[in-house]
Structure 1
Amino acid sequence: MDSDECMSKVKGGHHILEGQLQLLCEYVKGILIEESNVQPVNSPVTVCGDIHGQFHDLMKLFQTAGQACIPNLDKHLYIIPFQHYITSGNHESRQLTQVYEFYDECQRKYGNANAWRYCTDVFDYLALSAIIDGTVLCVHGGLSPDIRTIDQIRIIERNCEIPHEGPFCDLMWSDPEDIEIWAAVHVEQFNHVNNLDLVCRAHQLVQEGLKYMFQDKGLVTVWSAPNYCYRCGNVASILSFNENMEREVKFFTETEENNKMSGPRSGVPYFL
């Protein structure tokens, strides 16, 4: 498979051939299977939140980040110092991708469900979280009442569909204050027990792009899909850490291409 050819096709707004997609997904699975549930990442690095399939805005995100970025999938938190580390989000699920149009789009563009199967098989291999220099935990949704230590995340069986309850589910779906573990005092306790400075998460739209959820700033929500679903009017952000773990927030707005896509839409396509 010619990776440069595939990249050129995608950047040009075309989907790659089914056989190429199958080979690509098998290659990606071979990489992801070697990664931990809590993938260690070194600074400098940039953390990104949900991108929700907004392709042109993703390209702008990479330009904004420069050489260092973690996307959080969920249609998707990530990292790039010449590398990308991708963690799972709640939409990396066979069930949800049938509800939110990915399945239908694969059927339209490939004429069958094989592309959907190749991609959703990859979802089973995605890391559940990442940890930067041992002090910043990145996860899509958030904490769980069943998880007190990071080591408990490391032993979760991830090679499966996201369950409807339990710690794996909570890591993908939970929001601050939705469950008892998510009060400010519980975040403070979790960070203390695990020697963390910060928990980075995504999952919730924040109009300002980035929001520290509690007064002690031990938890931050990063949102990286500008004008979400082409109608919400929000800005997007990425959160960068330099070699000394000093933080810099960069904000960006939607691209001209995505601005033209405003108006009523039934969903956000995964493929262009």
Structure 2
Amino acid sequence: MENYLNALLTDVMLKEEEIGDICDKACEILLNEPNMVNVPSPVLICGDIHGQYYDLLTIFKINGTPKSRKYIFLGDYVDRGANGLECFCLLLVYKIMYPSNIFLIRGNHESKDLTKIYGFYDEVAKKYGNSRVWRYCCDVFECLINACLVNGRIFCVHGGLSPSLLDIDEINRIYRLNKLPDNHFVNDLMWSDPDELNPGFSKNSRGAGYTFGSEVTKKFLEINNLTMLVRSHQLAFTGYQMHFKEKCAVTVWSAPNYCYRCGNLASVLRVDENDITGKNFLIFKDTPQKPSSVGLPGYFL
């Protein structure tokens, strides 16, 4: 893995078979984890990355790598940005090397269907001239975990809550490799969004998941003895956004200058030892991006 890591950190393009090796080893490790992993602090929680590789490197430069620091990533590693493959491979290599120091939650974009629409499929096809590497990555998408608990009190998912999930222990009772119906609560965990106006659940304008308000959020937290919901899934221009007057939910966004044009800040949430509040944010700006052609075979330049 050291050779793969060095290649990724020096913009050397990995071979197809090397990515296949990374994906195979990552699947073995991921499938040994429960659907919801309890992670003790201190830990750093990162939101959407969306293929912004050099901003991901900045996160590790500022805060330290998983060799020395513990991380939770909330999903959406690929699509929209130019380097989703490098982002995903780097995180998988770190997972293989330091499995107890990095936890990878599945986002709604870790999907065959969405990656065909929002850029990851095309990115891989452009870089490798076929879809094999994309298929390797799609196999790993199925193995990613659904949620994390920090100190047993801070609930971390990609999107949000579901009217079909009251007891978080239900998350660990499913087999995540099974094909689940679209209305399953696991789908809602990836797609739902907070609603500041409606206190309950409503249909989501995205066409998947629900919106959830303050009352159902407070009820969910009380039933499960939780203090905070941490999620990503929506751009936050200041890097994060607290929700509801109780500030019991937060959006963490880790892709600065989103899509290389939005001008937003990004953040990482730092949960210190014995912390159950989850309100310490490290803000950072975007990193100059290298041309997207870096690492492409000669016949694509």
TM-score, structure 2 normalization = 0.80
Q: CA deviation at 1:13?
A: 1.8
Measured after TM superposition, the shift of residue 250 of structure 1 is: 0.4
Cα shift readout 1:27-76 (whole Å, capped 9, x = no counterpart): 00000001111111111101110011100000111123332421212136
Residue in 1 that maps onto 2:287 = 255
Equivalent position SS for 2:59: helix
1:43 aligns to what?
41
- Residues 1:186 and 2:184 are matched in the alignment: no
Q: 1:138 pairs with 126, 134, 156, which one?
A: 156
Query: Is the alpha carbon distance of 1:231 and 1:114 closer, same or farther for their aligned partners in structure 2, counting shifts above 3 Å?
Result: same
User: What is aligned with 2:166?
Assistant: 148
Shift of 1:218: 1.0
| Sequence identity (%) | 40
- The residue identity in structure 2 corresponding to 1:98 is K
CA distance in 2, matches of 1:82, 1:120: 23
| Per-residue Cα deviation, 1:205-262 (whole angstroms, up to 9, x for no partner) | 010111111111111110000000001110000111111216421000001236xx7x
Taking structure 1 as the reference length, the TM-score comes to: 0.89
In the other structure, the counterpart of 1:57 is: 55
- Separation in 2, partners of 1:110, 1:161: 29
* Separation of aligned partners in 2, 1:71 and 1:216: 25
Query: Separation in 2 of the partners of 1:217 and 1:60?
Result: 28
1:105–1:256 distance in 2 versus 1, CA, 3 Å: closer
Q: Give the equivalent residue in structure 2 for 1:265.
A: none
Number of the residue aligned with 1:116 = 134
Answer yes or no: is the 8 Å Cα contact 1:64–1:252 preserved in 2. no
Return closer, same or farther for 1:86/1:51 CA change in 2, 3 Å cut-off: same
Q: Note the alpha carbon deviations across 1:60-106, whole angstroms, 9 max, x for none.
A: 11123332421212136x99997111100000000011111211222
Residue in 1 aligned with 2:87? Answer: none
CA distance in 1, matches of 2:31, 2:146: 12
Consecutive unaligned residues of structure 2, counting only runs of 5 or more, are 79-90, 203-210, 297-301
Q: Distance in 2 between matches of 1:208 and 1:99?
A: 28
The equivalent position to 1:125 in structure 2, one of 143, 152, 167, is 143
1:85 aligns to what SS in structure 2?
strand
3-state DSSP of counterpart to 1:117: helix
Structure 2 residue 252 is matched with structure 1 residue 222: yes
Give the CA RMSD over aligned residues.
2.3
One-letter code of the match for 2:251?
A: T
After TM superposition, the structure 1 stretch with the greater mean CA deviation from structure 2, 11-20 or 175-184, is 175-184
1:157 shift after superposition: 3.2
The within-5 A match list for 1:65-104 is 65-66=63-64, 67-75=69-77, 83-104=101-122
Change (3 A) 1:44 1:176: same
Aligned residues, how many? 260
Map of 2:9 onto structure 1: 11
Comparing 108-117 and 121-130, the one that deviates more: 108-117
Q: Which ranges in structure 1 are unaligned for 5 or more consecutive residues?
A: 262-267
